[in-house]
Chain A
Amino acid sequence: MGNQIAEADKKSHLQHHFVDSDQQFESSKLGMWIFLVTEVLMFGGLFVAYIIYRSWHPDLFYLAAKELDTALGATNTVVLIASSLTIALAIRAVQLDKIRSAINYMAATVALAGTFMVIKYFEYTDKFAKGIFPGAGYTYDGIDHDMAANFFSIYYMMTGLHGIHVVIGMGLITWMIIKAKKGFVHSGYYTPVENTGLFWHLVDIIWIFLFPLLYLID
């Protein structure tokens, strides 16, 4: 909460209905946290579906998870963790008014996110080639279980919704890069960067849950 800068600078980002920057900053941050709660609950619904289906058909999950490429999944995990680090460094850089390096860190984050999506693309196309489509389009016969399609429905729903969040995150970070270039964010006002960072960490954390739950089933 180190918003200790000149009074004149403060005013420019202060919306009229807030008393001061501290109040505005705290409000934004609280708002972002509440939004993250709703995100967690939305994914929570999918996790509940996952848990229920896994408890009904433990053998299905064991068999079907073997079809997933653990190496690619692990790579993606490392990629996302690295991107969480870079966005954290970007926030730190903005707080220290090192806008140049903040932009670089954010660009690195977008690049890592892009890497994640590319790997995801290869994983998906590999499965489509085998005939592993969500639900009714499923034609693959490599898994000896008559509900194999349901596992991949859950797989596609979870990773797909997560993928959409990655794309949204990339958009947000790009927007932050533009903001930084135009000089809208600095040590006196870095709320948007901070909130984008929070969002990105959530995207990362969800993946850290998805990876073992889907790929590493023994």
Chain B
Amino acid sequence: MTTELFTGAEMVVKALSALKVKYIFGYPGGSVLDLYDAIFQQDEIEHILVRHEQAATHMADGYTRATGEVGVVLATSGPGATNCVTGIATAYMDSIPMVVLAGQVPTTLIGNDAFQETDIVGCTRPIIKHSFNCRDLADIPNVIAKAFYIASTGRPGPVVVELPKDLLIPQNKAPFAIETNPTIRSYNPNIKGHPKQIRKAAKAISEAKKLVVYSGGGVVIANASELLTTLVETLKAPVTNTLMGLGGISGTHDNFIGMLGMHGSLEANKAMANADVILALGVRFDDRVTNNVEKFCPNANIIHVDIDPTSISKTINAHIPVVGLVDIVMQQLLDELSAINFIPDEIALKDWWHQINTWRDVKSVSYKQVEGEKIKPQRVIEAMYRITNGEAYVASDVGQHQMFAAQYYPFDKPRQWINSGGAGTMGFGLPAAMGAKLAFPDKHVICITGDGSIQMNIQELSTCKQYNLPVVIITLNNRSLGMVRQWQDMVYDGRHASSYMESLPDFIKVAEAYGHVGIQIDTLDELEPKLKEAFSIKNQLVFVDVLVDEKEHVYPMHIRQGGIDDMWISKGVKA
């Protein structure tokens, strides 16, 4: 019997099939034409042609954030691959599993400054979890399997696989063999919390008088929101989410005290500052959370649970570090609490909640809308929430609109909120929304954006047309780069250096030019009816351009270099 031989291009497709990949997001070019030819000749995997490779990475990313499945990107060598860099960095910062297949010039030309040659493995080294230079045809299937395994386990992240053209061409063939559950001797993601640490953590929790649960993106990634809810309800404790962790517990849950950090609620930040025990779950004490680390929560005994040891005690010292997958550790904690017959301290809880409710009463997340005046951006988010019953997938760009969405759209479920939290990548929103819409065509998928961000990947309106991805784009149009402008108002005496968009396009005409529907909203009385109209249109992308008050700032906001609870709650007013 002769062994069947395959080209490298065929092997890539077979490997992806074996790994149950449904979509590849990409853009063709010289070095990957053989691979495109192989994709063309099968129908198990659908290729989505974007208009710019950056959008391919964000679309894969949005698909992953919505579904949990590993996103796959395909780009040609040189500029195709370098265009992926921002999207890879975005995925890396938010721990999103992604496999990027990047073409490369033939091995014989590598290092010769050949046409469209870039050392993409070198370019991406600081922003990937791992990368592979494929140099042997027969290795392709297992390299791809390993890439998936590394991308999706432990703390997830992007993996780059470089595929030189001579490995893909029809002239070279080899037998196909793949181990879809590979083992890597140097890579053993630590999964279970150390029992001694679990006991310590449970003891600290059971003795706490002012406990706060601080949960982040790790809980969402680990699909652990049910466990989080059970844990919070067992402890009867207040819970705050990071920007990445929103939806980890329902935004309408009684114990939820809002997002914390730079634009978090006063009650969340105050609770953190006054806590005696902080149970940190799948978070990394980001500078947008902590404010000045020297002043961070001075009285708190910090239990830090994370799968990545480097996140623990990096910025804030953890008193009880627990390395492990957050879902497993939460279950261990619940078991241990039950073993020690944990009963919540009702008296302490009563005092603690009373205190928290006094902070809640400040209503730090609020704004004033005067009838007849310009639409406040927050009002748009609230309308959007009502009309979609809070059930939409909301993919955000970066800026004021992102913070308003985080504050005013309580997410009931994890993965509903899709945003570039760590990298803060403008241009992320539209392609990410497209990825979510591809996964959930029957759900409302919103791209909440601004007049600055939307223009960073607006060409994808064309991809939406080609693949019928009727997302609802809501642009909070303030004719300026709002967050930049806000900082300039607050820190630079109102000098608006380059934060003003002087020649905005007519977004309605842009949308129509791409074959979509455009809806313009200029006044408050139009807001609700026209937004309803936008969401009632099925099977067509609707671009809603809402003129909002350009002077509105995002509040509350950390006072720079202060403690976590030092906040502006409105212009010139400190908490």
The reply to whether chain A is a binding partner of chain B is: no
Q: Give residues in A with beta carbon < 8 Å to B.
A: none
Q: Give residues in B with beta carbon < 8 Å to A.
A: none
